[in-house]
Amino acid sequence: MNNWTLSRLTGPSDERPEPFSQHSHPDDVSASHHDMLTTVIGSKEDSLASIIHNYKHGFSCFALYIAYLGEKKHDDPTLVTGSHHDMLSSIIGSKEEAKASITYSYKHGFSGFAAMLTEDQAEDLAELPEVISITPNQKHELMTTRSWDFLGLKNEPPSELLQRSNYGEDIIIGIIDTGIWPESKSFHDHGYDAIPSRWKGVCQLGEAWGPSNCSRKIIGARYYAAGLDKANFKKNYMSARDNNGHGTHTASTAAGVVVEGVNLHGLGAGVARGGAPRARLAVYKVGWEEGGAGGSYLATAAVLAALDDAIHDGVDILSLSLGVDENSFGALHAVQNGITVIYAGGNRGPRPQVLYNTAPWVITVAASKIDRSFPTAITLGNKQTLVGQSLYYKLKNNTESRFESLVNGGNCSREALNGTSINGKVVLCIELTFGPIGRIFEDVFAGVIQGGASGLIFAFYTTDVLLSTEDCKGIACVFVDNEIGYQVATYIGSERLPTVKIEPASSITGNQVPAPKVAIFSSRGPSIKYPTVLKPDIAAPGVNILAAKEDAYVFNSGTSMAAPHVAGVVALLKALHPHWSHAALKSAIVTTASTKDEYDTPILAEALPRKVADPFDYGGGNINPIGAADPGLIYDIDPKDYNKFFACQIKKYEICNITTLPAYHLNLPSISIPDLRHPINVRRAVTNVGEVDAVYQSSIESPLGVKMTIEPPVLVFNASKKVHAFKICITPLWKVQGGYTFGSLTWYNEHHTARIPIAVRITIQDFYADVAYPNMILHSPFQRFPAFLLFCVWLLMIRGIYGSRKLYIAYLGEKKYDDPTLVTASHHDMLTSVLGSKEEALASIAYSYKHGFSGFAAMLTEEQADNLADLPEVISVTPNKQHELLTTRSWDFLGLNYQPPNKLLQRSKYGEDVIIGMIDTGIWPESRSFSDHGYGPIPSRWKGVCQLGQAWGPTNCSRKIIGARYYAAGIEKADFKKNYMSARDMIGHGTHTASIAAGAVVDGVSVHGLATGVARGGAPRARLAVYKVIWNTGNSLQLASAGVLAALDDAIHDGVDILSLSIHADEDSFGALHAVQKGITIVYAGGNDGPRPQVIFNTAPWVITAAASKIDRSFPTTITLGNKQTLVGQSLYYKLNNESKSGFQPLVNGGDCSKGALNGTTINGSIVLCIEITYGPILNFVNTVFENVFSGGASGLIFGLYTTDMLLRTEDCQGIPCVLVDIDIGSQVATYIGSQSMPVAKIEPAHSITGKEVLAPKVAIFSSRGPSTRYPTVLKPDIAAPGVNILAAKEDGYAFNSGTSMAAPHVAGVIALLKALHPDWSHAALKSAIVTSASTKDEYGMPILAEALPRKVADPFDYGGGNINPNGAADPGLIYNIDPMDYNKFFACKIKKHEICNITTLPAYHLNLPSISIPELRHPIKVRRAVTNVGEVDAVYQSAIQSPLGVKIDVEPPTLVFNAAKKVNTFKVSMRPLWKVQGEYTFGSLTWYNEHHTVRIPIAVRITIRDFYADVA
């Protein structure tokens, strides 16, 4: 699209022309169009003849363009058309030629026209003031089942694969589902030959199913109603007829015949067909309607019966789109009988570890999105047009769209809608939380429909599942993102009578819509049943798929729709290669799958937030039928080989994951190593199915932290050598308790590329909690020495004697004797067998572990340790590691070591006399963290007060806490008794944050033995000013914007240098701007609503917005099951005073621990396993589970959840252990419970591990993500800082807390040090220093990860510039400075009903921020920036550009030269879109560097092409 295209749409709405037409009669409108076009082209008769000729024979220089003029100015359509003629005549020169040029005159819903023009004429037309946009016409295919064309299987003209496979003719696809609707046009048998002779199935008759319902298309039908209650018979057809519609939809997707003239109320009119339209269908009905609320009945027994019958009947392929866990046993038999079995992977995404149907012998399918969009125009009463997504279409007899009243329903909960009249109105609902789509929408929809609303605009985190008009009870349900939702809310707040008009959706297909993408609901790996098998295998279209239902066609979404796409492809392959095995077919689709989209960039996965897809999202990639037909090489498997690796047993729980050989040796087209501790060799073999004489080279992409080599690296095939075996050596490069990382192995030549995905998780050791110190027998002369000194002397002796030896820990598992002396003796005997002398063994042993378990620590050489490890009774031998004992570990992790003191701490004098203001819940002045010992007088510039109040006297202020105020206006008198009416902190939050920022050094701090050591703040010598604005009202905390503004105002007066606000309130942009313009640096917490995008708050350009990251500390907690299996979770569990040692207790499975799940289960005195397989805000789950578990009297809780980012102390858990585990561990515990008659477990207290064994930093899962909805041209957050399990002061003790509330004071502490070091730096300079020097790599030099759903590589919307780097920020080299008054040039702040500070008066991306955000890149732009040298006087900086995907960036000049006379340099950043696409944000960076400094700013860009208008006639 040309640069001028749509330029009229990019300006503010008040600058756009008012394109209203002037006529009311249709003939006048047409006349006006003819007049306009004549003026453009010239002579009337000649131009008419010429243009008609050109239409018939093709234009060489003309193209069809669409002119959009906005609202029509006249009610009479003829007058509107007449104005079009006049306008076009002014460009072309002839009214006759103008009339001939116009093909469509849009005169009913809006004003505009389509005309044949040259590019020059189109450009001239675009310059007219009344023209909003000129766009080239685009051809859109009218397809229902667009997905098959998207996959390259075009029907007209037919693709080569369809022709060569005869459209899958006579392949028999079995559909195990809810039945079928045989009368659908998709299943007619016209032109079919006789049923294949190999078919042995039956046509089972039943209700509404006679002999004629089977045919040469539907060749067999069975149903399985065993177990269905008789009361539900009337809700179902007692036959293979589909009562639900699901089975009909999946069957037509896989093998529906070609049906022309299909449409859905005007959406997607065209041709419907399946992937293998000539395949036969066999129907096995196992799903039934049950209950009164749309429930369904599906029994494993019935599925197994269907599998069994399918084996007998002779099907070739089975497609199972069932919401049931795998029937591994029956499926294995089917595969071993030559049937390809395909399962849907489930719709529980985007959280990890929830994939089901993951047996190694089946194909497990994820869901992807195709290149189709359903834009829906929303026009506000101020004429602003926004675009959402919907499947809204007009029902019969409906009138045209019109303006209706618009109301803001908040999150549309019952409470939010209470008292709001929504009858007959369009309701805006903004859901800022996250969770399963269906559950959230059902809650919202119920309230909106019951209230009689006429429409719904739903701001949500995804549009992957849209709803038709019928689904929405006849009203429009439009999904928008939070940015659009915020714009609608802003409009509502600014108008007395807000209105809106919603147009029906239109359909857009093609490369304007980036595709494929993994759907947000698609379940993600890894498999918890088979962790050594990489799942899913493949992704296929599964979003808004249009296929048959009864006699019509409907949209459906789910992996249920993806599985039959794979079945259709496999049918074509099976027809083309009838002798290929199931494994060969699976290998073909996996090894040829696409990992790039149509623009050759990595496929994305919709997630929370969006991420680059990895194998746990899509397996090998998105299915590529054309490539799969000729894969070159295949990874084949003899079906009987599965029995060599997996021992299937039918118990109370079906178990097929008991490995008898290392399962990673199974010849799958993928590799998964869930526990890599040492180098391993993985075997694979490939069979040549391409050219007989072929040579393949290998290409390795090693997972991060892993080295891979392959032997041999080249494979040579010929007529006598069709199969080659090879080995992959996989070696861990790190010693870390890590997460999965991903890579690939590709065999390639000039004709073929065969790629397999690889997933590896490095582990180092299990963490054991019960490691007791030994009872050392000490002989004279050491008996009178203190025990610790004795140990030191002994250790020195050991080191002297064993110079080349190191301390190793031997773990032997459960002790064999109750008598500790016998256990120790066995250790001596074992070590003697290795060392050769009992005396040497006695001298070598440092500790003998003989009470809780059996093991010892001994000084050994590496060779001796290896020999010891080879003994059969030894479980593990690991080197000893020293762990630091630190409470506020975060500051050491950031490089601000206190002992020996870090250089920055020394140079800044520990932040001495910098004044940090804390706007929070107050402070507990008696805490040792606020001692003023050694402080000098209060700085003379301080003008604040010490406001007295309840439990706060003059002595509570000090030389540390130099000021205190509180703001109680608006607090009800009834709540006075719930609070200290003073600056004293009753909640603990403010005390915690203050001690993080500026707590004094306190020795000897511990929390019940966890993290004993030194507590301190980032700037321990800084002063504190306290502003209490948050109050306890009983059920909640109250925070008034008025109180915050008053605190900001007072802080400006008082003379603070920095303000830290860890408050969950929307930004007070107005007051904060004043504070910044008075020289105060303001740091805000970004919020805890992550990981969903667009929920970050406190995003004004003039403040620093902090995200939360994790540090290198872990709290492993050992869970020992009754079968001696040891598992590790995370907790802050410690023994309370006078408690006995941990012991085994009864263990019960509470399911999801809802009231319904626990009903009838006795949990009193038992440890309860709870597994939450859905997702949503952490505290929502925790609170519900706690209430149910505690009320039942449980003695412990093992909680399988999607994150362990927020741990709970013993007190939080009412004295019992609460251990968080992932779903994998939870599944292992559940399997153990199911296999035992009396299961038991023991939970040990947690201990702490710090250092490089714990991958860090990572962005915390709860940390709110960008982009900013208020300021999309400002990249937020700015920076990430530690905010997970931070130990700091609370009252007289110390406690762990997590949140961006903890991250903000970390930033404030760093700023205090920088301010002390550089007192003349502005707020903008300080902000620039921390952003441009931030870390984007972890301690291993790898990209920082973000905890999300699922985990992803972090981007600027997760962490801004990166993780804060105090030492780098102290000497940044260059800074991006801003005159505080410049903010007023870009943002016009107004106080209305809603505070508005985002009305840009200049393009906001020109503000000299240390980041760039372009939310709407349609044509090339230039962004201005300036940098100031604060490093070496004479310096030269080079530029390095990392362009966002789809964008070309250039910098002018590319080199900056500084000297004494030239301290400031300006430059321009040119950005040009490379794609024409309605895109998503992509990320890059601009770095200025020399030998001393690296100055990096993040860049976020979203390419757009145009707004999609629905009413284009």
CA-closest candidate to residue 357, choices 169, 517, 562, 217: 562
Given the residues 246, 577, 724, 1306, select the one marked as catalytic: 246
Rounded CA Rg of the chain: 35
Q: At what angle do helices 1300-1317 and 989-998 cross, to 10 degrees?
A: 30
Beta-carbon count within 10 A of 603 CB: 23
Active-site residue, 252 included: no
How far, CA to CA in Å, does 1243 sit from each of 1136, 1170, 1246? 14, 15, 9
Active-site residue, 866 included: no
Tokens for 183? 């009368």
Cis, bond preceding 925 (omega within 30 deg of 0) = no
φ and ψ at residue 1304, rounded to 5 degrees? -55, -45
Residues contacting residue 539 through CB under 8 Å, at least 6 positions apart: 365, 366, 367, 368, 516, 518, 522, 562, 593, 617, 618, 619, 621, 622, 623
Given the residues 149, 170, 177, 617, select the one marked as catalytic: 177
The Cβ-side half-sphere exposure at 1159, using a 13 Å CA radius, reads 4
Do residues 1236 and 1149 make contact, with C-beta atoms less than 8 angstroms apart? Answer: no
Tokens for 1359? 């962490």
Tokens for 353? 């570890």
For 269, the 3-state DSSP assignment is: strand
Do residues 1129 and 1215 make contact, with C-beta atoms less than 8 angstroms apart? Answer: no
Location of structure tokens 């009669």: 25
Active-site residue, 177 included: yes
Active-site residue, 579 included: no
For 709, the 3-state DSSP assignment is: strand
State the first-to-last Cα distance of the chain, in angstroms, to the nearest integer. 22
Cis, bond preceding 820 (omega within 30 deg of 0) = no
Antiparallel, parallel or unpaired: β 646-650 and 633-634 = unpaired
How far apart CA 122 and CA 7 sit, in angstroms, is 13
Tokens for 436? 């399963």
Q: How many residues does the chain have?
A: 1513
Do residues 74 and 22 make contact, with C-beta atoms less than 8 angstroms apart? Answer: yes
What DSSP state is assigned to residue 1334?
-
Given the residues 184, 557, 560, 587, select the one marked as catalytic: 560
Location of structure tokens 């980041």: 1411
Sheet containing 102-106, strands listed edge to edge, beginning at the edge strand earlier in sequence: 102-106, 111-117, 63-70, 133-136
Active-site residue, 140 included: no
CA-closest candidate to residue 1244, choices 1166, 1165, 1113, 1145: 1145
φ and ψ at residue 755, rounded to 5 degrees? -115, 135
For 437, the 3-state DSSP assignment is: helix
Given the residues 133, 908, 1195, 1301, select the one marked as catalytic: 1301
- DSSP character string of 549-586: ETTEEEEE-SHHHHHHHHHHHHHHHHHHSTT--HHHHH
- DSSP character string of 904-969: HHHHTGGGTTPEEEEEES-B-TTSGGG--TT--PPPTT----B--BTTB-GGGS-SSEEEEEE--T
Active-site residue, 992 included: no
How far, CA to CA in Å, does 1107 sit from each of 603, 655, 997, 1265? 27, 43, 16, 8
Is residue 1098 packed enough to be buried (19+ CB in 10 Å), middle (13-18) or exposed (0-12)?
buried
How far, CA to CA in Å, does 507 sit from each of 70, 369, 514, 1507? 20, 14, 15, 13
Do residues 1100 and 1073 make contact, with C-beta atoms less than 8 angstroms apart? Answer: yes
Given the residues 989, 1306, 1323, 1406, select the one marked as catalytic: 989
Given the residues 636, 913, 920, 1355, select the one marked as catalytic: 920
Active site residues: 177, 246, 560, 920, 989, 1301
